[in-house]
């Protein structure tokens, strides 16, 4: 007999651990109409992210990731700061604070312990963007929001500036949330029109798709080449990109969830001038650790050459 858990209690425990929303979905296979992975890969939109080609079926079905999985607990922590960096050169706002992988994992492990205190036989594995499981699509499947036209998960209250994570377990729950069916982007195309590189496309069935080859975030982080494509317009971003998020009405109306203090702001704004030692210190326990120092210098030089930034 497998374990049956009270869903309402788990959502209360998730809130106590600092998660702003929690949805619970039955572990099952995501369909191509819901997650057009095959079409995206066949079009070459993954660029050099060849890891996306591996375990493609596992990305759709968490039961292949965790043996006996019956449930996916999807969790949200918003990160919209109360202000942004000044000046021409900037980084994506999700990297303003502590590395979200570390923060989310810490909270998720505490949540697992809290559940174990209520259900001694509870076993689970947490995931934060580090395994073949689609955070965005499970957040939708768990009823918390939708995939926006910018291809990001959009929460009706917090917008797309959200860290996402999942806890996958073999336990059964007494209630499962239905996939989100509420309001969505409708006819709004602000993100599509704002993208300077025309990276946002759609699948054959009308699902949003992102062509990484044209995306500033991909090129400033994942692209390991010595130089960026000359025609890529980064608009001054040297790590990531927020252009499609900054114009989104749901982000504009979303409440701030993080205070960027003066010292942290000044430190971030000094990043383009950092030497390698300073960069290593700044990127420790930060999402900035996703890039190497040569990439930072490459990205800064690309932005300065294109925009004459000083």
Catalytic residues: 129
| Measured distance CA(143)–CA(155) in Å, rounded | 10
Q: How far apart are the first and last CA of the chain?
A: 66
Q: Which two tokens stand for residue 239?
A: 């790590």
Is residue 289 within 8 Å of residue 95, measured between CB atoms? no
Identify any residues that bridge with 20 across adjacent strands, giving them in sequence order. none
Q: Which two tokens stand for residue 194?
A: 């704002």
CB 76 within 8 A of CB 167: no
Q: Which residues of 184-223 are buried (b: 16+ CB within 10 A; e: fewer)?
A: ebeeeebbbebbebebbbebeeebbbbbbbbbbbbbbbbb
Given CA atoms 95, 79, 158, 166 in this order, what sign does their dihedral have?
Answer: positive
Element (H, E) at 237: strand 237-239
Residues in the chain, how many? Answer: 310
User: Rounded to an integer, what distance in angstroms lies between the CA atom of residue 270 and that of residue 264?
Assistant: 10
CB 27 within 8 A of CB 168: yes
């Amino acid at each position: 007999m497998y374990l049956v858990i009270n869903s309402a209690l788990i959502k209360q425990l998730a809130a106590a651990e600092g998660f702003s929303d929690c949805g619970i979905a039955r572990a099952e296979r995501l369909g191509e109409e819901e997650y057009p992975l095959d079409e995206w890969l066949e079009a070459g939109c993954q660029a050099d992210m060849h890891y996306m080609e591996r375990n493609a079926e596992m990305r759709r079905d968490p039961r292949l990731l965790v043996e006996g999985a019956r449930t996916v607990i999807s969790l949200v922590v918003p990160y919209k700061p109360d202000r942004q960096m000044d000046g021409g050169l900037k980084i994506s706002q999700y990297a303003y604070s502590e590395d979200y992988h570390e923060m989310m994992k810490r909270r998720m492990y505490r949540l697992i312990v809290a559940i174990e205190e209520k259900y001694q036989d509870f076993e689970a594995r947490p995931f934060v963007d580090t395994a073949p499981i689609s955070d965005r699509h499970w957040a939708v499947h768990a009823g918390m929001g939708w995939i926006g036209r910018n291809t990001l998960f959009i929460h009706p209250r917090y917008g797309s500036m959200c860290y996402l994570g999942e806890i996958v377990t073999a336990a059964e729950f007494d209630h499962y949330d239905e996939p989100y069916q509420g309001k969505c982007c409708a006819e709004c195309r602000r993100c599509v029109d704002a993208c300077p590189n025309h990276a946002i496309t759609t699948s054959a069935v009308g699902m949003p798709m992102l062509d990484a080859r044209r995306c500033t975030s991909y090129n400033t982080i994942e692209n390991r080449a010595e130089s960026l494509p000359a025609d890529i317009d980064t608009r001054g971003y040297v790590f990531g990109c927020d252009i499609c998020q900054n114009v989104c009405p749901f982000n504009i109306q979303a409440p701030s969830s993080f205070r960027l203090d003066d010292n942290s702001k000044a430190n971030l704004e000094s990043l383009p001038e950092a030497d390698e030692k300073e960069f290593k210190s700044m990127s420790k326990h930060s999402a900035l650790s996703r890039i190497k120092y040569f990439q930072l210098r490459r990205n800064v030089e690309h932005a300065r050459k294109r925009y004459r930034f000083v």
